[in-house]
Amino acid sequence: MTVEFRPRVALASLSGRSDAEWARGAVPFAGAAFLGGIAIDEATREAAREMVDRDRDEFLPEDPVGFVDDQLGRLADAPLVAGFNVRTTSLPPLASAARVCRDHDAILEINAHCRQAEVCAAGAGEALLRDPERLCEQVRAASGTGATVSVKVRTEVEGVNLPALAREVTDAGAAFVHVDAMDSEAVVGEVVEASDASVIANNGVRGRESVHEYLSYGADAVSVGRPSDDPTVLARVRDATAAWFEERGSGVGRGYGAGEGRAGSTGGPPSEPQGGGPR
């Protein structure tokens, strides 16, 4: 299955906030939205309870896989590609969530990104970056259901060779690698070179300068996190993304998925001055 979305702007999941209503609010600006993240096994749910106890927003429905099904169902008529970011340490609930995503033509996104101490102590989130075997096992379990799989990762994790890991998860069946670049934007280009998956670049995406920097490294799309409910920011990002691909003759009538070419890659950041708002 090739997943296509235009504009090439996604909403990145925000714990406790990213539900179907949140995604619908961005329909004029985004082509995809990742709901969640949601803890789907007992170890990660216990971690989420501990985080709620210290006033962090988390989704903690009684039936997490049922919640995934319900929220994706609420987006059945929405003109965007939906995804669901999940945290788990065990495979059976992951496979169940993946089947739900498959049935809704949605993306199952494995969370190898969350750096909250409770999640990492449980062996999920960022901890998976240091355990490629377990992470790839999760990718295989999810993709084996027929679901389209994304892996959300971050840069600047000590001891982790992210480009090499991106290749491993791609070989295991991931169609997307969703990269939180932190303050290491150039690593996006290294991931692009290492992996045949479609790459979504995240962190500090606010307007023309940040969008064009990430796309110049070869990213297939960008994603917006914290300001995902700010229509002013979303409109800037949408317009900057569309302009980038249109200027290169690849912005109209073209989608992308795992293994397709990356239009407009120059292998580095733009040399001309950029404007259009803060990152």
pTM equals 0.89
**More confidently predicted of 51 and 253:** 51
In a domain, 255, yes or no: no
Give the model confidence (pLDDT) of 155-169 as tens digits.
Answer: 999 999 999 999 999
Residue 205, pLDDT > 90, answer: yes
In a domain, 257, yes or no: no
Q: Span 86-113, mean pLDDT?
A: 99
Residues 6+ apart with CB under 8 A from 261: none
Q: Please, what's the b/e burial string for 21-39 (b: 16 or more CB within 10 A of its CB; e: otherwise)?
A: ebbebbeebbbbbbbbbbb
Distance CA 47, CA 54 (A): 11
In a domain, 211, yes or no: yes
In a domain, 278, yes or no: no
In a domain, 256, yes or no: no
pLDDT in the model for residue 4: 79
pLDDT in the model for residue 249: 80
Range of the domain at 71: 9-247
Distance CA 275, CA 260 (A): 30
